[in-house]
Amino acid sequence: MINTEVNNQTTYSSQSTKNAILVIGGAEDKVHGKEILQTFFQRSGGTDALIGIVPCASREPSLIGERYYRLFNDMGAKEIKVLDIRDRPSADDLVYRSFVEGCTGIFLTGGDQLRLCGLLADTALMNRIVERAQKREISLAGTSAGAAVMGHHMISGGSSAEPPNRSLVDMAKGLNIIPQVLIDQHFYNRNRLARLLSAISSHPELLGIGIDEDTCAMFESDGVIQVIGKGAVTIVDAREMSHSNQTQVNGNEPLSMHNLKLHILGYGDRYDLHRHLPLN
């Protein structure tokens, strides 16, 4: 794990070059220490990095793509390409597919997760990105909408400021990058705990993960999550839930969910996905 960051001054160990999947809660620091983006850059190879930026979740892909291009260019990446995909046929672009075969990192920007999945789900390009990320041949990062799509099941919308209930959350199919998790982002910043609980009530076999802004849950190849950034990562484990009225209630009637486990992880904390335990 990276454990050598102190007071936002990062000294990278030999582990910093290992590929990882970085799930970012959105609004990551792009101005000051840029720790999360710097970590992705280093995990993608540092000055040898070949980074692909996928901005198609945004309705302003040129603007967003250019912004991340400048950020990684200023860090010294060897090559950067914006994969500006605006319709599904564009995902078959041979230049893009060739780049994905040789790249060392892919960054999925924020925007609308339904738009991202609508353009890329089940395309040969995205399937190859997922395959390479799962094999840890590349580092893959997603922020905001790019984080929401990580699971097989995805939170596509909803609201907050209500008790958990079935109408509070909208679900869709994600990109299946980390199938065993269900991600929500901008978490405490937008009061989304009830939304995540509502989603988990339908999928208690999944690990619910809520990620604050400027915060990253970094999934390592050994099955450990490490937290970096300024906020917290909230984990909801419902595998041993002893009771739920999820199938009996309708609409906005409050849900009952008994015997859940809740973990709040701060900077540097780790969580073992295999044993479902936080690590000291």
Residues annotated as catalytic are: 144, 186, 213
Polymer length in residues for the chain: 280
Residue 155: phi and psi, rounded to 5, are: -80, 115
- Whether 82 contacts 109, CB under 8 Å: no
C-alpha triplet 132, 231, 61: angle, nearest 5°: 50
**DSSP-assigned letters across all residues of 174-223:** ---SSTTEEEEESTGGGT-HHHHHHHHHH-TTSEEEEE-TTEEEEE-TTS
Any idea which residue has 């295999």 for tokens?
274
d(CA 257, CA 263) in angstroms, rounded, equals 16
Backbone angle region of 34, left / alpha / beta, with phi > 0 → left and psi within -120 to 50 → alpha: left
